[in-house]
Structure 1
Amino acid sequence: MAKRIGIFCIVLSFALYALLLAVPFLPAGSSGKAGAAAALVIAGEVAFWIGGLLLGREVIKKYRRFLSPAAWAKRKSAETQGEKEQT
């Protein structure tokens, strides 16, 4: 049960960040938009970390490795080296 709640919290955090794209179109003043953006970011971070705590350290490490730009570069260089060795 905790694993499902953790996954839900992480998915919710992505949805909250996606809602940031709608903030400029809100019928509010600049201060209202800034407040809404800040609230969405804070809520997204809280949801992510609660989900991370529920899922555990291993899942968060795997997630960070998957989304790390440094890991992308390492994967890309490993793929290109594998292609060079095949030819």
Structure 2
Amino acid sequence: MKKVIGYFLFVLSFMSWAAIASLPFLNLSIEKSAAITTALIVGGEIAFVLSIALLGKEFLGKIKTFLNRFNFFRKEK
């Protein structure tokens, strides 16, 4: 059950960024858009951290391996 919740939170963290991208198409004031964007960013980051905590070091290693393909964590010499 812990892994299911972890994967759900991981997907939810990326869905929050997709929701941010859809905000300009809604008829909202600037203030409401800013408040919703802030809440979605904070909520998405919290969901991501909780998912990593629930899924463990192995899952974090898989994410780092995937991102290393794009040289995100390459050390400069």
| TM-score, length of structure 1 as denominator length | 0.73
Q: Does 1:57 align with 2:46?
A: no
Q: Name which structure has the greater RCO, CA cutoff 8 Å, separation 6+.
A: 2
1:27, distance to aligned residue in structure 2 (A): 1.7
Structure 1 outlier segments of 4+, above 4 Å: none
**Which amino acid in 1 is paired with 2:10?**
I
Unpaired segments of 5 or more residues in structure 1?
74-87
Q: Does 1:70 align with 2:71?
A: yes
CA RMSD of aligned residues (A): 1.7
Percent identity between the two aligned chains: 38
CA distance in 1, matches of 2:44, 2:35: 14
Give the helix-richer structure, 1 or 2: 1
Unpaired segments of 5 or more residues in structure 2?
none
Secondary structure of the residue aligned to 1:42 is: helix
The higher radius of gyration belongs to 1
| TM-score, length of structure 2 as denominator length | 0.81
